[in-house]
Chain A
Amino acid sequence: MAIPPYKAPSRPAYDIVIVGGAVVGSSVAYWLSQALGGSMSILVVERDSSYEFSSTALSTSAIRQQYSNPINVKISQFGIEIIRSFAERMKPYYKDEPAPDLGFREHGYLYCCSPDGVEAAKARVDLQRSLGAHTVFLDPGPLKERFPWLNVEDLGGGAWGSRDEGWFDSMGLLNGFRRAARASGVEYIDNAVTGLTVAGGRVIAVQLATGETVSCGTLVNAAGPRAQQVAAMAGLSIPVAPFKRYSFVFSSAIPIPGRMPNVIDLSGTFVRPEGELFLTGNTPVDDGPADYDDFQMHHEEFDERIWPALWHRIPDFEALKVQQCWTGHYEYNMLDHNGIVGFHPEVTNFMFANGFSGHGLQQSPAVGRAVSELIIHGSFQTLDLSPFHYERIPRNEPFLEEAVI
């Protein structure tokens, strides 16, 4: 797929410029347009609207409630609310055609738990339940009973989310947000931001690859794995870099009966059904910051690490064949693998919506709404996302999330 030809913006000045038009940028644009109803000018600059290498398009597209931080659980609960109501919400923008159904497969997540980790896992389950999640802890016996294909010999149990967890259509979510935002007056252009002009503690102008400069009232960094490139244009720095994740779709000679959840093995390998096939991935052996354009596949990851782990956990995965594979990028926050949401204290109109470390898609509904609240009201109105503030970065105070995959 080729990058579409770049176009000039229609105006010389915008109230809000959003850098990045994938799911996070489009959610921000959507919530702003809903709240402002066309009273402010908004420009979204997308460097490749074919989304060929976009983390949204290359995501494994799942959502879970099983986090160790209350705020991440609440963010997911709002994500689920949006996913469930999306077709209804999008109706006004799909007048003569069916509104997008995100194909939510509510199969749940199953976090395998080592014998040493039982106590911590149970504490997480209690926390999630206190917030209204439907996670249950299953001891090895009941676990085996419910999922007979699972090897529980070396497990202390498993945390299973019976509701509000599963996988869905990532591009459907992006397309809906984008279409609704455009219909509400937001301008999307194919173009790339090449520079920012900062004066008096504010971003005052945005340079585009086609040579134009537009002035802006607020700048939103929604550049995904390229977030640091955009931050650097304003003389700022965040510890966010692209980390490669390899996804493999495989067929199995032996099918897995019943509603198989997204299984998270002790090894960090996940596997879930994808139609009649299965989708799997892991934290690869060569994990670390990658080049922005490095999407090279590492086929050995499946043969040497993923398959042995899968076969150990699910012995029916004895005979497999990879049917499809791709490489995507996490926008990885190297400080604490949590998002960074909020204005910069010195460049005061520079808004971060970055570093979601593999949770960006599922967190995009809540993050987009939160960013729009900060821009319009100057403070959070619904969910308080202040733990994700930028200030923790220079202070080197990680806001840790234990449940990372």
Chain B
Amino acid sequence: MKILVPVKRVVDGNVKVRVKADGSGVDLANLKMAMNPFDEIAVEEALRLREAGKAQEIVVVSIGPAQAQETLRTALAMGADRAILVRTDDAVEPLGVAKVLRGVVAAEQPGLVILGKQAIDDDSNQTGQMLAALLGWAQGTFASALAVEGGSARVTREVDGGLQTLELKLPAIVTTDLRLNEPRYASLPNIMKAKKKPLDEKTPADFGADIAPRLKVLRTEEPHARKAGVKVASVAALVDKLSNEARVL
């Protein structure tokens, strides 16, 4: 079986982002970028399935600018076999990504697509679901455990108050939750070796995908700055403030 893992280049999770002065979006200039952490979990899960003999090949794909190559190289350094960069400098919305991925799926014929449940930059949480709908495949979202046996995948999902287990007929779509696994580190020697692994470059047009945006960003704002606290003299004053000013009592 072949596993396809889409990976996205996003702002590193440790970086504090700033909104552009004109409110059109987030200022990305010279920020440290990294693979979306949920996608790292997806790569790791694919590697474990291959190591367990359930899969033979892992193909990673990224849709984005030339620099998205770095993200693909990281996935290759972790252990993926080959990479596809679908190059575009435009912002691509989840539906556009899902349409490109539909084309990649048609070309690659994977038995399983593992995606991060969402990207930490736009938090859309849509691509996996849209791709499943476009393909008419089964989907198991927010997987906290995944087992592949014969022609099916067993997906455990964390839901309110417990766990839900689904059985999907392959080929299928799985999206990863945080607790699915702890991704391995790419080692320096493997980072070197990854430079020699195959990386194909394509365009959205190669897959006949229309990535024109459907949404318009009206504005982007920073969260409100936290206000300074106040000291109160007594418990009575505290209760008074909580009930009359904060109105939480």
Interface residues of A, Cβ cutoff 8 Å to B: 251-253, 296-297, 299, 307-308, 311, 318-325
Contact = CB atoms under 8 A, between A and B. Distances in A.
B14 A307 contact: no
Contacts of A321: 185
Nearest to B29: A296
Contacts of A324: 14
Contacts of A307: 188
A297 B30 contact: yes
Contact of A319 (B30, B32, B185): B185
A315 to B, nearest CB: 10
Contacts of B187: 253, 318-319
A308 B32 contact: no
Contact of A296 (B30, B185, B188, B189): B30
A296 B31 CA distance: 9
Interface in B48-105: none
Contact of B185 (A253, A299, A308): A253
Contacts of A323: 14
B184 interface: yes
Contacts of A325: 32
Nearest to B30: A296
B26 interface: no
14 contacts: A251-B185, A253-B184, A253-B185, A307-B188, A318-B188, A318-B189, A319-B185, A319-B186, A319-B187, A319-B188, A320-B188, A321-B185, A322-B32, A323-B14
Nearest to A324: B14
Interface bin, chain B: under 10
A308 B188 contact: yes
A37 B34 CA distance: 55
A311 to B, nearest CB: 5
A258 B184 CA distance: 24
A295 to B, nearest CB: 11
Contacts of A253: 184-185, 187
B188 A311 contact: yes
Interface in B178-237: 184-189
Nearest to A250: B185
Given A253-B185, A311-B188, A318-B189, 8 more contacts: A296-B30, A299-B32, A318-B187, A318-B188, A319-B187, A319-B188, A323-B14, A324-B14
Q: Which of B30, B184, B185 is the most central at the interface, judged by chain A CB atoms within 10 Å of its CB?
A: B185
Contacts of A319: 184-188
Contacts of B188: 307-308, 311, 318-320
- In the A-B complex, the 4 residue pairs with the smallest Cβ-Cβ separation, listed nearest first, are A319-B185, A319-B187, A253-B185, A318-B187
Contacts of A318: 187-189
A320 B185 contact: yes
A253 B188 CA distance: 12
A307 B184 CA distance: 17
A299 B30 CA distance: 9
A195 B185 CA distance: 53
A325 B30 CA distance: 13
A98 B187 CA distance: 44
A297 B32 contact: yes
Contacts of B186: 319
Nearest to B188: A311
